[in-house]
Structure 1
Amino acid sequence: MDARTLIKATPAPRPATAVAPARPPAARSGPGRKRTAYLILALLALGLVGWLLFAPAPLGAELATVRTGPLQVAVSNQGQVRIHDKYVLAAPVAGRLARSPLDDGDPVRQGQVLATLYPAPMDPRQREQAQARLESARALAREAEMRVQRSASDLALAASERSRTERLVAEKFVSPQAMEKARSAEAAARAEADAARARSQAAMGDVRAAQAALIAADAAAEQRGQQPLPLTSPVDGYVLKVHEKSERIVAAGAPLVSVGNPADYEIVADVLSTDAVRIKPGQTMWLDDWGGGQSLRATVRLVEPVAFTKVSALGVEEQRVNVIATPVDALGPLGDGYRVEARVVTWEAERVRKVPGSSLFRVGEAWHVFAVEDGRIRERPVRVGQRNQEEAQVEGGLAEGAQVVKFPNNQMKDGMRVQALR
């Protein structure tokens, strides 16, 4: 093998390759950590944007502040002004009424002639009827007198039984209950005797009335309707109403003229019987919405002891009671039958802690409110005292200056965020 062959067969040496130095681990992971940080920041930003876009907005609510001030509790209803004493002049007998010269509002004096009546003569049939009424009244009077005698006998017997029973009880022959029964029987007999005497007096009054009617009929028959019968005013005052202005034939008992004194007014208002028990004589009644610019004051004089049934506008039967008051302030232009809004104050205080009545709601038997704290509502029980249609006294559960939701609704829950409405 020659030298050229050896050179050709021997491989040429490779050039030396430079080896890069190894980077430290921290330098090798830097870009990855930045990308992770950027990704986290982007997710947080997206979450914040989504929360801002889709989070529920605070519920708008009208707020009220618990404050201290005066409070009145009153019973209110419509009432009217009326004359305390009103006199209605009526025809005592049937006859022809002359035309009246009076008009509504004319002043009159006591004894002044208000109407002139020409009595109609009584025909034989009417006289027989009057005679029959007189005989019937006399028969009832005799019956009543006999009942008086019988009740007197029963009373004497009951008194004797009571006296005998008292002696037996004293000697311990009968029990004390027997004496109580005897005394009760005597009291019942005495009451029956009093009632019998009252019925006898009423029957005698009917007899006198029937006799007077017969005498008047006979006198009218004798006069044959030629003599007028003047009807005079019983008091000084004003003509309230002329019921019959023109000449006409009127029946006995027909109203002719109403007379009264407009200076003697009273206020009458009907209230529910459940409210009437809270009204006492001497309490203040305020008259509102009567057409003037200020409230007028009156004093309760009487709460009638008897209630009556009245159908409300909704068709519900209600038991109502009339409350009558005497005006303290001058009524000015108000007249008989004028409408007013009567408000009777049953309780009042100068300084009480109070909230709007609309802020209260029932939870079982307790009153609750939604109190506002740091922009959120908190349901709280409260102790309520007196209340009226607008405000309520708070005796516990809320401090002065606290804010409450004035008009809570079913959407509100404890812990919800609220925003005050302007």
Structure 2
Amino acid sequence: MFKKSYLIWAAGGAATIGLLAWAFAPRPVQVESAAVTVGHFEQGIEEDGQTRLKDRYTVSTPVAARLARISLREGDRVAAGDAVAVLVPAMSSLVDERSSQEAAARYKAASANVTRTNARVERTAVTREEAQLELHRTEKLAREGFLSASRLDSARLALAGAQRDLEIARAEREAAVHEQAQAAAALQPASGNLQAGRPFTVRAPVDGVVLRVTQPSEATLPAGSALLDIGDLRQLEVVADLLTTDAVQAQPGRRAVVERWGGPPVEGHVRRVDPGAFTKVSALGIEEQRVKVVVDLDSPPPAWRVIGDGYRVTLRVITQSVDQAVMVPVGALFPYADGGAAVYRVDGGRARLQPVEVAGRNGSEAWIRSGLQAGQRVIVYPPPAVADGKRIELRKA
């Protein structure tokens, strides 16, 4: 009887000890994990930007006169030579000696401007021809294996830039010719045209869209008063203010992507980085040195046509692009040792501390140069309870 009671008490004590051991035994830490992948990695500089017309033309009054009410409104299309405003004489001073001399001087200045723009067109045409010849030579040498692909890309970009400079020079010449015609028409008051009450028509210098009507109502205006702005919305660029520390990496020719404008990403490239920086106060009240970076669009989609001047976009300048890169989520990394980084690798049911060499990172992924292999799993956002060798349990999605 005594032996039987002893066995019962022993069994109960053993069960109690077992229950206490199970209750106080360390539990596996629940964690989230992600796979180590291999793919295309990109690192870039991201900043808010806005669209801007490459060329904006402000139509102004060539002489002091009375402006008739302008019927055009923002968004109306005009062609080069279309009438955009009508001026009528306001006072006899339009035809006095001083006004005649001023009009003659403006005509001479406009004629000189035409000569200057003609010379620039010829100079840019020669530059484009030189770029074309250089591209042909570079293509031939690249096919023979004497030059690298980057040299060929530089030659192609130089030709594209020379072509754009030629287009700009031709547009400036066209505008200068119209300004000369306006200045020549301003000499008409001396012959009595305006004094006799004949209206003077102000015409559009180029094809485009009316961006802003500065003076829609009838008014008497001095010479040089702005009437309206005209521009071609098909010729848009993107400009952003980058920190000077970032701008040194966004050199001309760098690939850029325009995002969050309301449509798919649009490819482009950096055309110009302004040589001078300026001070800008951030939202936190910190003075920052920034510089303007201008990006040309390579092949905007049809939906881009709805974008206008001054629209807000997000600009991402690509500074690093690697294929077949080993990548992990940035949430898996944490500081380790002296300026290094590490991750917790999933090894069966335990966490293993794994130092890694990080070659680059963006907003979501990090490029691992060494320390991990594709197919392994790492812990994402490891909780404080995780340590090397700690038992873990993968949290179910």
Give the alignment's TM-score, normalised by structure 2: 0.66
**Residue from 350, 360, 373 that aligns with 2:333:** 360
**Residue from 254, 260, 266 that aligns with 2:231:** 260
Q: Does 1:416 align with 2:386?
A: no
Q: Does 1:404 align with 2:378?
A: yes
Give distance in 1, aligned partners of 2:47 and 2:196.
Answer: 52
* CA gap 1:376/1:108 in 2 versus in 1, 3 angstroms: same
Aligned residue number for residue 208 of structure 2: 237
Aligned residue number for residue 300 of structure 1: 270
Structure 2 letter corresponding to 1:75: I
Q: Does the aligned pair in 2 maintain the 1:77–1:271 contact within 8 Å?
A: yes
- Where does structure 1 lack aligned partners over 5 or more consecutive residues? 1-29, 128-211
Give distance in 1, aligned partners of 2:18 and 2:93.
Answer: 107
* CA gap 1:119/1:71 in 2 versus in 1, 3 angstroms: farther
Structure 1 letter corresponding to 2:311: Y
Give distance in 2, aligned partners of 1:399 and 1:377.
Answer: 16
* CA gap 1:359/1:245 in 2 versus in 1, 3 angstroms: same
Identity of aligned residues (%): 38
- Where does structure 2 lack aligned partners over 5 or more consecutive residues? 99-182
Q: Does the aligned pair in 2 maintain the 1:121–1:225 contact within 8 Å?
A: no
Give distance in 1, aligned partners of 2:362 and 2:380.
Answer: 16
Aligned residue number for residue 45 of structure 1: 15
Aligned residue number for residue 334 of structure 1: 307
Secondary structure, aligned partner of 1:70: strand
**Residue from 314, 324, 330 that aligns with 1:351:** 324
Secondary structure, aligned partner of 1:62: strand
Q: Does 1:387 align with 2:361?
A: yes
Structure 2 letter corresponding to 1:288: E
Q: Does the aligned pair in 2 maintain the 1:287–1:297 contact within 8 Å?
A: yes
Secondary structure, aligned partner of 2:386: coil
Displacement of 1:259 after TM fit?
1.0
Aligned residue number for residue 107 of structure 1: 77
Give distance in 2, aligned partners of 1:282 and 1:301.
Answer: 6
Q: Does the aligned pair in 2 maintain the 1:119–1:225 contact within 8 Å?
A: no
Is 35-44 or 330-339 further displaced after alignment? Answer: 35-44
Q: Does 1:322 align with 2:271?
A: no
**Residue from 247, 251, 258 that aligns with 1:280:** 251
Aligned length: 303
Aligned residue number for residue 271 of structure 1: 242
* CA gap 1:227/1:343 in 2 versus in 1, 3 angstroms: same
Give distance in 2, aligned partners of 1:225 and 1:60.
Answer: 93
Structure 2 letter corresponding to 1:258: D
Secondary structure, aligned partner of 2:73: coil
Q: Residue by residue, what CA displacement relative to the aligned partner does 1:138-177 show, whole Å, maximum 9, x if unpaired?
A: xxxxxxxxxxxxxxxxxxxxxxxxxxxxxxxxxxxxxxxx
Give distance in 2, aligned partners of 1:379 and 1:38.
Answer: 47
Secondary structure, aligned partner of 1:51: helix
Q: Does the aligned pair in 2 maintain the 1:357–1:390 contact within 8 Å?
A: yes
Q: For 1:18-417, what aligned pairs fall within 5 Å after superposition?
A: 41-91=11-61, 95-117=65-87, 118=89, 230-250=201-221, 253-292=224-263, 294-330=264-300, 331-363=304-336, 364-417=338-391
Give distance in 1, aligned partners of 2:383 and 2:243.
Answer: 30
* CA gap 1:230/1:332 in 2 versus in 1, 3 angstroms: closer
Q: Does the aligned pair in 2 maintain the 1:78–1:342 contact within 8 Å?
A: yes
Is 406-415 or 59-68 further displaced after alignment? Answer: 406-415
Displacement of 1:411 after TM fit?
4.0
Structure 1 letter corresponding to 2:283: A
Give distance in 2, aligned partners of 1:383 and 1:37.
Answer: 61
Structure 1 letter corresponding to 2:72: L
Which protein shows a greater Rg?
1
Give distance in 1, aligned partners of 2:280 and 2:366.
Answer: 30
Give distance in 2, aligned partners of 1:420 and 1:296.
Answer: 39
Displacement of 1:420 after TM fit?
1.2
Give distance in 1, aligned partners of 2:389 and 2:10.
Answer: 31
Displacement of 1:41 after TM fit?
4.6
Give distance in 2, aligned partners of 1:390 and 1:374.
Answer: 26
